[in-house]
């Protein structure tokens, strides 16, 4: 079998790219589709739930699919520098792909509201990291203005190549299952990714490769403009990746929902954390808080009877848990980190205590 070399090589015929283009790849995509056996059993329902674990992309989130294509197109256009606003993962991905391409990267992040792992990525890859004393939405407004007046390429998901790259995740789901799921759940922030999945499923459906799944978007309760139907000026949630009140792909995501018969919902922070822990402890899948929202949404809708027996459900798990070690350690709780003298009796006592 040929060495896997990323989403452009694999799905070239579905992407607008010249034959002689220089491809900037880190081997993104080809992420596992993991069936949730233990968790599904607890629902008592006859459904099949899969996680598309996008945390296993090169920089730990699905953003790499879009960044691979956006940076490849930026190089093709002769760009020298990239810019983005980010809640963290876009900056990590932009920094890595810029390094790979030999471009400069400028990233605007909300001061104090970015998970530590993501900040470390942007810094080690050599991006110029600018903290702004404002939230993501304020940063987004700024970078759009800068990109309109300065020779830098904007690589937020308003860059259409980002969504083209990200649609390959839908292709992978259909290629892995042999069909489309009945429901595809995604965490929603800017709503670029749910839109990208809609594009991908549409491409395949037009060629008769699959039917359209219902696209279901879930947000954090404190940052849920798609649920309230209006923009949120002060979004707040522990799920920093989706701490967004003014989604950039507003109308496209509304269309994706309506055209596929899907819906939007919201999960509060307490349930986000419960689901993150559940995935880690019942299934061995460690994701960041925002990523647990899709699975929380599916479990919520299963309990509410919104999903019929026999259905196949795919939940996109967007980013790796190592991105946000602070939240993960707090989830464990101080009582679970035990300290003892280095003696056989002390360690044995713990094991006997825990194995009953
Ligand atoms: C970017 C991101 C999201 C939100 O995706 P949108 O395309 O902005 O809706 C969700 N989870 C994680 C981990 C992300 O990095």
The string of pLDDT tens digits covering residues 195-242 is 999 999 999 999 999 999 999 999 999 999 999 999 999 999 999 999
Q: What percent of the chain has pLDDT over 90?
A: 96
Judged against a pLDDT cut of 90, whether residue 107 lies above it is answered with yes
> To test ligand 1's pocket by mutation, which of 28, 191, 197, 242 has the most ligand atoms within 8 angstroms of CB?
242
CB 55 within 8 A of CB 320: yes
Among 84, 88, 89, residue to substitute to test ligand 1 (most atoms within 8 Å of Cβ): 89
Length of the chain equals 356
Query: Which pLDDT tens digit goes with each residue over 12-65?
Result: 999 999 999 999 999 999 999 999 999 999 999 999 999 999 999 999 999 999
Q: Is the pLDDT of residue 336 over 90?
A: no
List the residue whose alpha carbon is closest to atom 14 of ligand 1.
241
Checking if the pLDDT of 113 tops 90, the result is no
Three-state SS at 225: helix
Mutate to test the pocket of ligand 1, among 91, 119, 189 (most ligand atoms within 8 A of CB): 189
Provide the pLDDT confidence category of residue 335 given band limits of 50, 70 and 90: low
Looking at residue 5, the DSSP 8-state letter turns out to be -
Q: What's the pTM value of the predicted model, to 2 decimals?
A: 0.97
Rounded average pLDDT over 174-194: 98
Report the 10 Å Cβ neighbour count for 343. Answer: 9
Cα 134 versus chain centre, distance? 22
Is the pLDDT confidence value at 284 over 80? yes
Chain mean pLDDT for the chain: 96
DSSP category for residue 223: G
> 208's torsion region: left (phi>0), alpha (psi -120 to 50) or beta?
left
Residue of the nearest CA to atom 13 in ligand 1?
319
pLDDT at 333 over 80: no
The runs of H, that is alpha helices, within 14-107 are 37-43, 63-76, 89-101
Query: Alpha-carbon dihedral of residues 300, 33, 124, 115, nearest 10 degrees?
Result: 10
Q: What is the largest CA-CA distance in the chain?
A: 69
Rounded to the nearest whole angstrom, what is the distance from the C-alpha of residue 210 to the centroid of ligand 1?
25
Q: Could you please report the per-residue DSSP string of 151-180?
A: S-EE-STTSHHHHHHHTHHHHHHHHHHSS-
* Alpha carbon distance 191, 62 (integer Å): 13
- Output the pLDDT for position 164: 98
pLDDT above 80 for 1: no
Q: How high is the pLDDT of residue 334? A: 61
């Amino acid at each position: 079998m040929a060495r896997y070399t990323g989403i452009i090589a694999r799905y070239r015929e579905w992407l607008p790219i010249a034959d002689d283009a220089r491809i900037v790849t880190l081997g993104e995509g080809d992420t596992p589709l993991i069936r949730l056996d233990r968790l599904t059993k607890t629902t008592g329902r006859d459904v099949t739930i899969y996680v598309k674990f996008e945390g296993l992309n090169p920089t730990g989130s699905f953003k790499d699919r879009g960044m691979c294509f956006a940076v490849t197109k930026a190089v093709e256009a002769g760009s020298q520098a990239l810019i983005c606003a980010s809640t963290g993962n876009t900056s990590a991905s932009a920094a890595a792909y810029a390094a790979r391409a030999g471009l400069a990267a400028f990233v605007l992040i909300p001061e104090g509201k970015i998970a530590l792992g993501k900040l470390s990525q942007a810094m080690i890859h050599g991006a110029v990291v600018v903290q702004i004393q404002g939230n993501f939405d304020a940063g987004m407004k700024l970078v759009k203005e800068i990109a309109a007046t300065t020779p830098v390429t904007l690589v937020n998901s308003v860059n259409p190549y980002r969504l083209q790259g990200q649609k390959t995740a839908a292709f992978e789901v259909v290629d892995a299952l042999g069909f489309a799921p009945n429901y595809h759940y995604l965490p929603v922030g800017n709503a670029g990714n749910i839109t990208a999945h809609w594009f991908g499923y549409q491409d395949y459906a037009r060629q008769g490769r699959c039917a359209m799944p219902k696209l279901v978007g879930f947000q954090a309760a404190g940052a849920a403009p798609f649920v309230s139907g209006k923009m949120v000026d002060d979004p707040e949630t522990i799920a920093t990746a989706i701490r967004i009140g003014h989604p950039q792909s507003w109308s496209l995501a509304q269309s994706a929902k309506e055209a596929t018969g899907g819906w939007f919902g919201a999960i509060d922070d307490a349930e986000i954390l419960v689901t993150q822990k559940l995935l880690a402890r019942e299934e061995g899948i460690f994701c960041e808080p925002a990523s647990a929202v899709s699975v929380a949404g599916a479990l919520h809708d299963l309990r509410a009877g919104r999903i019929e027996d026999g259905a196949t459900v795919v939940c996109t798990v967007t980013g790796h848990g190592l991105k946000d070690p602070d939240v993960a350690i707090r989830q464990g709780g101080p009582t679970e980190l035990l300290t003892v003298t280095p003696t056989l009796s002390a360690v044995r006592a713990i094991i006997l205590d825990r194995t009953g």
